[in-house]
Structure 1
Amino acid sequence: MVKVELAKEFPLFENFTEKELQEIANYLDYKVYPKDEVLFEEGDPGDKIFFIVKGRVGLYRPDPFGNMVRVAVSEEGTPLGELSFFSNKLHSSKGVALKETHALILTREGYEKLKEEDPQLAIKLLEEIARIIAERLKEMNKKFVDTTCFIWGGPKK
């Protein structure tokens, strides 16, 4: 029942009915990561989506000198690892809990089982994840345009 209650708090699941949440909870794992614990390494298989219910995860990549540099932070209420998961690629960064982090986890095995047993619910989940990815991309595009227009003096008229 813990997973259902946590899923209710997660924004991605806000459009799901109680019955759908109870069904999805059957396919989710739950884990608490202490501060500084590694969720995944760069180069690990993207075989899980982490739904960060509470906490923060830093994403790190090596710079040209081999120093690990934080390139992003995933806050509570956001999915993590979904791009590697759906592209079936290796993680391109290292994920580390910046403070105690509680996560619901959808494994590849769980997702395949969900698709087989309840394809409509799997589609709904996928659509919600796609919505979040689209919102992030739109935000990144806006930041890119704002930055490049500042650097270049804006679009030519």
Structure 2
Amino acid sequence: MSALSFSKISAPLDGLLVAAGLVAVAALTTPDLTGRTSFALELLLASIWAIYVLQLIGTVIMQRTRNVRDRMPAIAVDALAVLVPLAAFLLDDTRDQSLYCAVWLLKPLRDSTFFRLMGRVLTNEARNLIGVTSVFGILLFGAALIAYILERDVQPDRFGSIPQAMWWAVVTLSTTGYGDVIPQSFAGRVLAGLVMMCGIGIFALWAGLLATGFYEEVRRQDFVRNWQLVAAVPLFQKLGTAALVEVVRALRPRVVPAGTVICRKGDTGDRMFFIVEGRVSVATPNPVELGSGSFFGEMALISGEPRSATVSAITEVSLLSLYSVDFQMLSKSSPEIAEIIRKTALERRGVTPDPTAPPMGKDTKSTS
């Protein structure tokens, strides 16, 4: 097997290798381990290390055909996974050599979308997070200073200096409360209560900023993905930016496996579908196949009638769903789209559209 193929190790297999390696590292710290078992565990670590060497070589080869900046995190993690244990083997002749394999904890991060997402969130919220952290630092030092003044004569062994008092301040601000350092004076206990309440507020701010950042980033990614899907539908390609934004907000993406029944004849419909990729079969007396750019299920929104045919996915299908409530809003903001949908629906029923009929969304008496 070539080194290039090792660069494409799947995430589950990579996770299994990491888990096996870390279990071996933990087992090697057992005092009463036999020599044969110890040798077997060390051989396992050496085998995993050899696989990671091949993975590093494959990653370096692949970066020639890709954007180096995009591959840098993977290259850095793969390099650390190889070089740190190697350096420990060459430079450290103690029994702690295997402990350096704990650097493999970084391996799950090399292709993790979550940590890239976290990096973007931290970058976007950096200013606010730094501000809250600054307030935390001010409170920490201020609490330690006041506690030192109040308790230094009562407990010189615990509050004899500001650095000693900082341990109490950290434990109290985080509301951990180990109980190993406790103010004895009344003023000191009042200070402890205030510090705890401030700590709750600080950690709530941190959590709120991160939660908001994650929500905004996920919503931004969803919007970009939906925009790409909507732009691929021919019906929407001639729309302006403002109208396209309205469509993106109205449509809901959905992926359907091959063979799935998307809608059944006779069911009450509350949405229609646009096909982005794939093909579907419409079970009419003369079965029809629809492909990318087509739409179906529009009569449920226009006339409110039950489904007139069963539609099944021939291949895996990427769909965009438009619910009736969103269709009403879209008819007002983009009447030309609603009119195309209405005309197509009538043509499918064998009815010739009336060219003098007002577009949907501009006539309050039009059916929808």
Give the TM-score normalised by structure 1: 0.71
SS in structure 2 at match of 1:73: strand
- Of the three residues 302, 319, 338, the one matched with 1:126 is 338
The 1-side partners of 2:333 and 2:325 are apart by: 17
User: Amino acid of the residue matched to residue 34 of structure 1?
Assistant: P
Structure 2 equivalent of residue 3 of structure 1: 226
Structure with the bigger percentage of helix: 2
Residue 42 (str. 1) matches residue 258 (str. 2): no
Q: Would you say the 8 A contact 1:39–1:95 is kept in 2?
A: yes
Higher RCO (CA 8 Å, separation ≥ 6 residues) = 1
The 2-side partners of 1:70 and 1:41 are apart by: 16
* Residue 109 of structure 1, CA deviation: 2.3
Structure 2 equivalent of residue 71 of structure 1: 287
Q: Would you say the 8 A contact 1:12–1:129 is kept in 2?
A: no
RMSD: 2.5
Structure 2 equivalent of residue 66 of structure 1: none
- Of the three residues 309, 314, 331, the one matched with 1:98 is 314
Residue 112 (str. 1) matches residue 328 (str. 2): yes
SS in structure 1 at match of 2:231: helix
SS in structure 2 at match of 1:31: strand
Residue 83 (str. 1) matches residue 302 (str. 2): no
User: Amino acid of the residue matched to residue 73 of structure 1?
Assistant: E
Q: Would you say the 8 A contact 1:58–1:70 is kept in 2?
A: no
Structure with the bigger percentage of strand: 1
- Correspondences of 1:57-68 after superposition (within 5 Å): 57-60=280-283
SS in structure 2 at match of 1:109: helix
The 1-side partners of 2:305 and 2:344 are apart by: 19
Give the TM-score normalised by structure 2: 0.32
The 2-side partners of 1:35 and 1:107 are apart by: 23
* Residue 19 of structure 1, CA deviation: 2.1
SS in structure 2 at match of 1:22: helix
Q: Would you say the 8 A contact 2:252–2:321 is kept in 1?
A: yes
* Residue 79 of structure 1, CA deviation: 0.9
Higher CA-based Rg? 2
Change (3 A) 1:102 1:81: same
Q: 5+ residue gaps in structure 1?
A: 62-68, 142-157
Q: Would you say the 8 A contact 1:40–1:95 is kept in 2?
A: yes
User: Amino acid of the residue matched to residue 41 of structure 1?
Assistant: R
Q: Would you say the 8 A contact 2:246–2:330 is kept in 1?
A: no
* Residue 131 of structure 1, CA deviation: 4.9
SS in structure 2 at match of 1:105: strand
Between Structure 1 and Structure 2, how many residues are aligned?
129
Q: Percent identity?
A: 27
Change (3 A) 1:14 1:136: farther
Residue 26 (str. 1) matches residue 26 (str. 2): no
The 1-side partners of 2:330 and 2:301 are apart by: 15
* Residue 124 of structure 1, CA deviation: 2.4
Q: 5+ residue gaps in structure 2?
A: 1-223, 353-368
Structure 1 equivalent of residue 278 of structure 2: 55
* Residue 133 of structure 1, CA deviation: 4.5
SS in structure 1 at match of 2:315: coil
